[in-house]
Amino acid sequence: MPPDDPSGSSIADPGSTAARVAVNAVARLPAYVLRVPSGPYRSLNPLTRFVIAIASAAVAFGVRGWTGPLAVLVLTAALALYAGVARSLRRFVLATIPIVVSILLVNSFLYPGATDVVLRVGPLAATGTGVTVALQATLRVVAFALSVALFSLTTATDDFLADLERRGAGRRLTFIIGSAIGTIPAMASRVTEIVEAQRARGLDTEGSVRRRIRGIVPLAGPMVFGVLSEVEERTVALEARAFSAPARRTVMRVLPDDGVQRALRWLVGLGSLILVAASIAGRFPLP
Amino acid sequence: MTLRLSGVTYRYAGARRNALDGVDLELAPGSVIGVVGPNEAGKSTLCLVASGLAPVVVAGSLGGSVTIDGRETVTMRPHELAQRCGILLQRPEAQLSGTAATVFEELAFGPRNLGLPLLSVVERVEASLATLDIAALADRDPTRLSGGQAQLVALAAILALRPAYLILDEPTSQLDPQGTRLVGDALRRLAAENRSAILVVEHKTALLDRLADRVVLIDEGRIVRGGPTVEVLDDPALAGHGVEPPPRVRVQAALAAAGLDDIGVTDQLLAELAS
């Protein structure tokens, strides 16, 4: 198999000068740039892991009954164990608690049309139908969260972006995805800075709920204006670094991919699509 | 081969007055021009206009002419400008891409945008790291650098594009004396060895004293004084424009004020003070 040309095109002759230069160039990259993935699951191409995550989420939400979300939960848990990130999944499960609680309460007590009361709490009555729906919805939400979590725990953003770029995704698209993900911690640190600055000037941001809500107003202004003023600055900075150059961007890292993974992506992607479509159409009844 | 501003006026979109007014300037290969002036004098606007990013990227109206190697900047596309004229902005953290996992990749961002072969990208990154002596930062996360480190990385990222002209807006504002000296030495080397033409806005006049061939004083959008570095920085009128003279000049002035200007302070001592 010919070596990958880091510039993105394939090299016809592995013994050619171009091939040798490409291989030499990759050899010059330090290990902290190459970041060779460890373990079999992490060694899968990022796109393969992405397709698995999307397919899992689709099955969790799209296949009726218990089977879909349960199968996704079991599969995701198994993959997480295999990838060595099972412990880290806990915090994602914890993050779903608020939404799970609301799903359980609303569906159990307020499910429209259900009359099979199983529990009364004051004027409210929980129904068997409502509880069943609530538990199924909970399973779907948790399965969805875990499949997304598995992807994010096993895939570095820049790996995913590097792979998308190699596949020909535009630099603007990959930049937008990358900077959007990078913006979250940047915004968090900006909020901290603004809060500290406002506190230093005597703003009370702790104590009662009312005080905390009042504290949001002086926080939001600098936050919004700061972000807006940064947009132009960032545009200038990007243009100063030839961001709009017409050439195809040089690919620095080529992540592993092969025919087996391509087949797996098609199989998983199409399989989940057919499963969801059949389930919605009622042609594939599952418990 | 020069970067030339002739009768340049610039007004930002929506602004009521010109940020630059009748500016003439010429930056030749191998030369370093220092720019001093008070806050809001138009120094950063001068940088944006000289680099061609205003009005090509920053909205505003340009009068007069700005040419790089004979070509009007308004006729050039941003990536063409970036390869000829690199600009370092005042806030280095805003200049970083925000998408690179390491400083090495951050420096590779510009050359990769140009679609250069990977080997060239790697060589440029390594050379830029070496020029500013920041190879030790190469594996660091660019978003977790100190202000001074970010400034050096942002400058190295511009150097990786290998522009013939460098426009630097306060490149040492967050650096300690050692970092300032390092940047000064690197810029002097770039001008001497690579024949880079450098326009550097600085409040640290001591740095300009030993780096710049010429200095221009800008105030209210106009160049009010320009000439060889020693002449401009020795001008007592400098302080009246909110610019602090370099230590060498202040020592001379203090000695003169104390009636000690004939004690034979050698040029060497003054040069030491300047550095």
Min distance B247 CA to chain A CA atoms (Å): 34
Judge if A223 and A258 occupy the same domain: no
Higher pLDDT, B198 or A219: B198
Predicted ipTM of the assembly: 0.86
Judge if A97 and A217 occupy the same domain: no
DSSP B37: -
Structure tokens at B37: 């002036």
Region B107-116 average pLDDT: 94
Cβ within 8 Å of residue A156, ≥6 positions away: A35, B101
- Using CA of residue B119, residue B124, residue B127, residue B133, what is the dihedral sign? negative
Is A95 within a domain? yes
Percent of chain A whose predicted confidence (pLDDT) is above 70: 85
Min distance A239 CA to chain B CA atoms (Å): 6
Judge if A218 and A148 occupy the same domain: no
Query: Number of structural domains, chain A?
Result: 2
Judge if A238 and A261 occupy the same domain: no
Question: Inter-axis angle of helices A86-95 and A67-83, to 10 degrees?
Answer: 140
Judge if A62 and A128 occupy the same domain: yes
CA distance B212 to B264: 26
Q: Would you call B121 and A250 a contact, using CB atoms and an 8 Å cutoff?
A: yes
On the question of pLDDT at B41 being above 50, the answer is: yes
A211 near B CB under 8 A: no
Judge if A262 and A123 occupy the same domain: yes
A229 near B CB under 8 A: no
Q: How many CB atoms lie within 10 A of CB B249?
A: 23
On the question of pLDDT at B94 being above 60, the answer is: yes
CA distance A281 to B173: 66
Judge if A236 and A258 occupy the same domain: no
Q: How many CA atoms lie within 13 A of A161 on its CB side?
A: 22
E strand or H helix at B271: helix B267-274
**pLDDT-based confidence at residue A6 (cuts at 50, 70, 90):** very low
A186 near B CB under 8 A: yes
Q: How many CB atoms lie within 10 A of CB B146?
A: 11
CA A217 to chain centre: 31
Is A4 within a domain? no
A173 near B CB under 8 A: no
Min distance A171 CA to chain B CA atoms (Å): 8
Question: Inter-axis angle of helices A128-154 and A67-83, to 10 degrees?
Answer: 30
Continuous H helices in chain A:
17-28, 31-34, 46-62, 67-83, 86-95, 97-110, 128-154, 157-166, 171-200, 209-239, 259-281
Judge if A37 and A82 occupy the same domain: yes
Q: Which residue of A has its CA nearest to B55?
A: A236
A228 near B CB under 8 A: no
Q: Would you call B104 and A33 a contact, using CB atoms and an 8 Å cutoff?
A: yes
Is A19 within a domain? no
Min distance B201 CA to chain A CA atoms (Å): 17
Please check whether residue B19 is in contact with residue B42, taking contact to mean a CB–CB distance below 8 angstroms.
Answer: yes
Please check whether residue A147 is in contact with residue A57, taking contact to mean a CB–CB distance below 8 angstroms.
Answer: yes
Cβ within 8 Å of residue B129, ≥6 positions away: B103, B104, B107, B135, B137, B138, B156
CA distance A119 to A111: 13
Each residue's pLDDT tens digit, A52-65: 999 999 999 888 88
Contacts of A175 in chain B (CB under 8 A): 97, 99
3-state secondary structure of A184: helix
Judge if A124 and A44 occupy the same domain: yes
Region B205-223 average pLDDT: 95
Structure tokens at A37: 């993935």
Rounded to 5 degrees, what are φ and ψ at A125? -130, 130
Q: pLDDT value at position A201?
A: 75
Bridge partner residues of B169 (DSSP): B201
Choose the weakest-confidence range: A181-195, B75-89, B92-106: A181-195
**pLDDT-based confidence at residue B67 (cuts at 50, 70, 90):** very high
Contacts of A247 in chain B (CB under 8 A): 113-115
Q: Is the peptide bond before A40 cis (omega within 30 degrees of 0)?
A: no
On the question of pLDDT at B185 being above 80, the answer is: yes
Q: Nearest to residue A184, comparing CAs of A221, A144, A203, A157?
A: A157
Q: pLDDT value at position A4?
A: 42
Is A160 within a domain? no
Size of interface A-B (CB pairs under 8 A): 139
Each residue's pLDDT tens digit, A113-163: 878 888 888 888 888 889 999 999 999 999 999 998 899 888 888 788 888
Percent of chain B whose predicted confidence (pLDDT) is above 70: 95
| Domain span at A201 | 168-243
**pLDDT-based confidence at residue A248 (cuts at 50, 70, 90):** confident
Q: Would you call B98 and A182 a contact, using CB atoms and an 8 Å cutoff?
A: yes
Q: pLDDT value at position A20?
A: 65
Is A136 within a domain? yes
Q: Select the residue of A25, A237, A245 nearest B95 (Cβ to Cβ).
A: A237
Judge if A172 and A54 occupy the same domain: no
Q: Would you call A32 and B104 a contact, using CB atoms and an 8 Å cutoff?
A: yes
What is the pLDDT of chain A when averaged over all its residues? 82
Higher pLDDT, B252 or B125: B125
Is A53 within a domain? yes
Q: Which residue of B has its CA nearest to A185?
A: B143
**pLDDT-based confidence at residue A10 (cuts at 50, 70, 90):** very low
Higher pLDDT, A103 or A3: A103
Cβ within 8 Å of residue B87, ≥6 positions away: A240, B47, B48, B51, B53, B158, B166, B167, B168, B169
Sheet containing B214-219, strands listed edge to edge, beginning at the edge strand earlier in sequence? B85-88, B165-169, B197-201, B32-36, B214-219, B222-228
Q: Select the residue of A33, A236, A243 nearest B89 (Cβ to Cβ).
A: A236
Q: Would you call B79 and A156 a contact, using CB atoms and an 8 Å cutoff?
A: no
Min distance B155 CA to chain A CA atoms (Å): 11
- Using CA of residue A214, residue A216, residue A220, residue A222, what is the dihedral sign? positive
DSSP A6: T
3-state secondary structure of B50: helix
3-state secondary structure of B15: coil
Is A228 within a domain? yes
Q: Would you call B121 and A252 a contact, using CB atoms and an 8 Å cutoff?
A: yes
Please check whether residue B105 is in contact with residue A33, taking contact to mean a CB–CB distance below 8 angstroms.
Answer: yes
**pLDDT-based confidence at residue A1 (cuts at 50, 70, 90):** very low
CA distance A145 to A150: 9
Q: Would you call B143 and A238 a contact, using CB atoms and an 8 Å cutoff?
A: no
Judge if A175 and A264 occupy the same domain: no
> Which of B112, B116, B165, B167 to mutate to probe the A interface, most A CBs <10 Å?
B112
| Cα R_g (chain B), whole angstroms | 19
Cβ within 8 Å of residue A152, ≥6 positions away: none
Structure tokens at B54: 């205003």
On the question of pLDDT at B76 being above 80, the answer is: yes
Cβ within 8 Å of residue B234, ≥6 positions away: B245, B249
Q: pLDDT value at position A41?
A: 87
> Which of A236, A248, A253, A254 to mutate to probe the B interface, most B CBs <10 Å?
A236
Choose the weakest-confidence range: A240-254, B76-90, B252-266: B252-266
- Identify each DSSP E strand in chain B by its residue range: 3-12, 20-27, 32-36, 60-68, 71-72, 85-88, 165-169, 197-201, 214-219, 222-228
A274 near B CB under 8 A: no
**Range among A27-31, A122-126, B166-170 rated most confident:** B166-170
Q: Which residue of B has its CA nearest to A9?
A: B117
Q: pLDDT value at position A84?
A: 87
Q: Nearest to residue B10, comparing CAs of B203, B222, B200, B226?
A: B222
Q: Would you call A245 and B113 a contact, using CB atoms and an 8 Å cutoff?
A: yes
Q: Is B199 exposed, middle or buried (0-12, 13-18, 19+ CB in 10 A)?
A: buried
DSSP A254: -
φ/ψ bin of A135: left (φ > 0), alpha (ψ from -120 to 50), beta (otherwise): alpha
On the question of pLDDT at A209 being above 60, the answer is: yes
Judge if A151 and A259 occupy the same domain: yes
Q: pLDDT value at position A9?
A: 41
Each residue's pLDDT tens digit, A238-247: 899 999 899 8
Is A147 within a domain? yes
Percent of chain B whose predicted confidence (pLDDT) is above 90: 72
On the question of pLDDT at A8 being above 60, the answer is: no
Choose the weakest-confidence range: A8-12, B121-125, B204-208, B222-226: A8-12
